[in-house]
Structure 1
């Protein structure tokens, strides 16, 4: 937590008149800060200064930069939390858990409707698209990379594996929900999980199809 450098005041107390005003001021400041500096460069401290509140209050209302960004772009769920919720499994089941958890989340109407918009924006060349890409790379790839690093894999290799996992998952989501191409649209979550999970697990383990063929 960060204390303000101005005159002493109780930790977390806003300069705005009320809590609703402070929350709105933080969201407005965050929107401006993200637009000006991008997701990666924007900081909780800078957002707090712009909103004229303590940084502790930003954490109080929004928990983290990821939570604040999700609020600003009105995400119905936190993608980073969805991904992290799949981590409480043994390493050998992580691929299946990730695929199933993400696919199941997208079965919810509110998630799908906003998610399609987010994916379309992410692949565009707009300012919003660049912001969303930064957010997804930092929060989603970062979470998966950290999980892989826990197994003793070096950071560069873990980063590659996490990127390949995102490639697999994003491709499936775009084809199933954005482009709506058959037969992926008609497959059940169980069927699609069974097809995708081995490939995702292979990326997590750093095993290429060629290596599998040679060891067979």
Structure 2
């Protein structure tokens, strides 16, 4: 999203999101305001779920006027989608998975990249927020499914050159989202406490089969 222009209206909102009547100091830049909104949104989504996180509450936590949230993201749905993008960085994920020009090992590279996001401090916190919101609200769950499938897994599946990339992407999504839920949210043992390499050894072959292996009928007729 390009840097926004100055915003007027709704109480004289300036480009940094602070109302003209009450402004006591300028926020240090529009980019920081946008990032503050995303951070506040992720925290609210984690605590209250998608339904319970209000635009007003997010704006209050971020220290901006609610009008700036609508300016950047249009709606709460748009803000949630941006929160997913901010946590997942789909372009970087796809680039990491496809950095080796061979279909061999695609499942392992995908899984290691995915686990790395979940187990890094900042992105792990962001992704927990998103997944907890998704399980509490159908619209949020749909957005998460569509984002992971369309922005990450379809490009990976298409790059393999195999048939039915959409089917392969949805199968891979079921594996990755299910793994995240059981390992990081519900914390089912012994999976939750397993070493990352052991998880890769157990799960990567399944992802590889989904992405490059034979599909059952009617797909491979």
Q: Which moved more, 1:16-25 or 1:113-122?
A: 16-25
Give the Cα separation in 2 of the matches to 1:26 and 1:132. Answer: 25
Q: Where in structure 1 do 4 or more consecutive aligned residues deviate above 6 Å?
A: none
Q: 2:104 aligns with which of 88, 92, 110?
A: 92
Match of 2:139 among 130, 136, 154: 130
- Find the counterpart in structure 1 of residue 157 from structure 2: 148
Q: Kindly indicate whether the alpha-carbon contact (under 8 Å) linking 2:88 and 2:123 is maintained by their aligned counterparts in 1.
A: no
- TM-aligned CA deviation for residue 111 of structure 1: 2.5
Q: Which residues in structure 2 correspond to 1:168-207 (within 5 Å)?
A: 168-207=175-214
Q: Separation in 1 of the partners of 2:157 and 2:88?
A: 21
Hey, what's the Cα distance between the residues in 2 that align with 1:182 and 1:209?
A: 32
- Once the two structures are superposed, what CA deviation does each residue of 1:8-67 show, in whole Å capped at 9, x if it has no partner? xxx977243865346656533344x333xx45xx9xxxxxxxxxxxxxxxxxxxxxx96x
Cα RMSD after superposing both structures: 3.4
Match of 1:49 in 2: none
Change (3 A) 1:186 1:13: closer
Cα drift, residue 147 of structure 1: 2.6
* Structure 1: tracts of 5 or more residues without a match: 2-10, 43-64, 211-216
Gap change, CA 1:76 and 1:152, over 3 Å in 2 = closer
Contact kept, 8 Å, 1:76 with 1:110, in 2: the verdict is: no
Query: Following TM superposition, by how much is the alpha carbon of 1:118 offset from its aligned partner in structure 2, in angstroms?
Result: 1.4
Shift of 1:113: 2.7
Q: What is the DSSP-based 3-state SS (H/G/I as helix, E as strand, rest coil) of the residue aligned with 1:91?
A: coil
Work out whether 1:20 is the aligned partner of 2:16. yes
Q: TM-score, normalised by structure 2?
A: 0.60
Q: Secondary structure at the match of 1:130?
A: helix
Is the 2:135–2:141 contact (alpha carbons within 8 Å) kept by the matching residues of 1?
Answer: no
Q: Over residues 94-115 of structure 1, what are the superposed CA-to-partner deviations in whole Å (9 max), with x where a residue is unaligned?
A: 1000111111221122333332
Determine the C-alpha separation between the residues in 1 that align with 2:145 and 2:104. Answer: 24
Gaps of 5+ in 2: 9-13, 18-29, 34-66
Distance 1:13 1:30 in 2: 7
